Amino acid sequence: MTELDRRRFLQLTGITLTAAGLAACAGTGSSEDSGDDGPVESLTFWSNHPGESKPVETELLDAFTADTGIAVKLVTAGATYEEVAQKFNAALSGGELPDLVVASDVTWFNFALNEAITPMNDLWSAADLDVDGYVESLVSDYEFDGKNYALPYARSTPLFYYNKQMWAAAGLPDRGPETWAEFAEWAPRLAAANPGIPPLALPDGSNYLDWHFQGMIWTFGGAYSDEWKPTFTSPESLEAGQYLQDRFKQGHLAINNDPNSVFGAGQAASLLQSTGSLGGLSETAGFDFGTAFLPGPTPGCPTGGAGLAIPQRISDERKEKAMQLLAFLTNTENTITFTQATGYMPVRKDAVDDPKTQAFLEERPNARTALEQLELTQSQDYARVFLPGGGARIGAALDRITIGGEDVETVFGELDEESTTVFERDIEPKL
């Protein structure tokens, strides 16, 4: 979505779009503040620890406490972004709210629509936050009606990881496949050279297969939608779905709810996964692996990940301290620390150019791939990120054509119909 398109959409829907957002994740909500009247001596941060980041999050929060005297309780609010959103949604109905919460690119919008998270712009000055120091495109991802509702935290792109030993056994060059057609040629060689090992591991539909397939469907010339019009049944989209199903049927890829562990244990020759998995795999994989751009033609690569948001229904004093914490977590020094611990992309421009980052990239060329691929990314299709339940709906459909073995044209036809129904019911009347 271009910035102009995004602004227009948000302006059109911002006034009256309630049913979709409420149904999706807002909750009926209490309007009472959860804050105290006195000085803020402690804060609560809800996270799913993206990229196995709990240790570095704890380290940074301890440093914040040492610097400010404000204690921070780190709460594991779920294993995924969706689980964090569900817990936050439940808290809006009367539970205790956090002061800072992880909000993914797919979940923040409905919370903003329903005034569950607070605009940050007025808080920036009080925290002496240098907003211009952040990567502009990542900041604008959280803009709604001229206001920003989150700042980037754990931002990523998908990467192609490959086991160099298995690659060599198959006589392949030390690089990822340039196209999905090339992967189809390589897959039988990988399978023959590494018996019992699937050439590629992918997450299932409950673990963001819909995000990874977003790029794949683009490279076939298809898409989930053309703005609001679903395009799952275009010839190109169906071709991409058939490609995915064919590779699965032929044993060229495995669908798993924990593909990182599969690849890290040497039980898959390659993996599609977030850049945020790089830190964990670097620690756990007992073999040499490389990273590469996603296959093309022209790498089909979306951005993704999460930002940090502040609830609306906490006191102004708590909001100010929460912003102070957010600014601390994402300052240049701590961005570098978080990035190097997890593999997520730096969210601040000066962190990219910092000598410590450049030295880190020289020593770990796998981390450089995501930064170079960032120039080739594009915004995701409306059908996944703006239609309520879009990602889950597409993920379930992809499970049906892979694990379930159902007919691609039938399943994608149903996706078209369901997406149209959701749009006409929840979105179109508000436009």
- My answer on whether 55 and 139 are in the same domain is yes
Q: Is the pLDDT of residue 34 over 80?
A: no
Is residue 26 a part of any domain in this protein? no
CA separation, residue 371 to residues 52, 339, 356 (Å) = 20, 12, 15
Domain of 76? 42-156+304-373
| pLDDT reported for residue 294 | 96
- My answer on whether 237 and 339 are in the same domain is no
| pLDDT reported for residue 37 | 60
| pLDDT reported for residue 10 | 39
Is there a contact between 99 and 118 (Cβ–Cβ < 8 Å)?
A: no
Return mean pLDDT, the chain. Answer: 88
| pLDDT reported for residue 15 | 28
Cβ atoms within 10 A of the Cβ of 139, count? 18
Is residue 121 a part of any domain in this protein? yes
Average pLDDT over residues 190-217: 96
- My answer on whether 127 and 142 are in the same domain is yes
Is residue 336 a part of any domain in this protein? yes
Is residue 198 a part of any domain in this protein? yes
By the 10 Å C-beta count (0-12 exposed, 13-18 middle, 19+ buried), 132 is classed as exposed
Count of domains in the chain? 2
- My answer on whether 124 and 184 are in the same domain is no
Q: How long a stretch of residues is the chain?
A: 431
Cβ atoms within 10 A of the Cβ of 29, count? 17
CB neighbours of 34 closer than 8 A, spacing ≥ 6?
Answer: 96, 97, 311, 313, 314, 315, 318
- My answer on whether 148 and 196 are in the same domain is no
Is residue 65 a part of any domain in this protein? yes
By the 10 Å C-beta count (0-12 exposed, 13-18 middle, 19+ buried), 128 is classed as exposed
Is residue 27 a part of any domain in this protein? no
Q: Is the pLDDT of residue 182 over 80?
A: yes
| pLDDT reported for residue 336 | 94
Q: What's the CATH code of the domain at 107?
A: 3.40.190.10
Encoded tokens for 207 = 């673990």
What does the pLDDT look like over 224-260, one tens digit per residue? 999 899 999 999 999 999 999 999 999 999 999 999 9
CB neighbours of 91 closer than 8 A, spacing ≥ 6?
Answer: 27, 97, 98
Secondary structure tally for the chain: helices H, strands E:
21, 16
- My answer on whether 249 and 319 are in the same domain is no
- My answer on whether 275 and 213 are in the same domain is yes
| pLDDT reported for residue 338 | 95
Is residue 295 a part of any domain in this protein? yes
- Confidence bin at 108 (pLDDT 50/70/90): confident
What does the pLDDT look like over 149-165, one tens digit per residue? 999 999 988 999 999 99
- My answer on whether 117 and 142 are in the same domain is yes
- Confidence bin at 342 (pLDDT 50/70/90): confident
| pLDDT reported for residue 233 | 98
Average pLDDT over residues 92-103: 94
Q: What is the DSSP letter of 255?
A: E
- My answer on whether 412 and 347 are in the same domain is no
What is this structure's pTM? Answer: 0.79
Is residue 10 a part of any domain in this protein? no
Q: Is the pLDDT of residue 89 over 80?
A: yes
- My answer on whether 247 and 368 are in the same domain is no
- My answer on whether 167 and 261 are in the same domain is yes
What does the pLDDT look like over 303-324, one tens digit per residue? 888 999 999 999 999 999 999 9
- My answer on whether 195 and 335 are in the same domain is no
* 373, 392, 416 - which closes a domain: 373
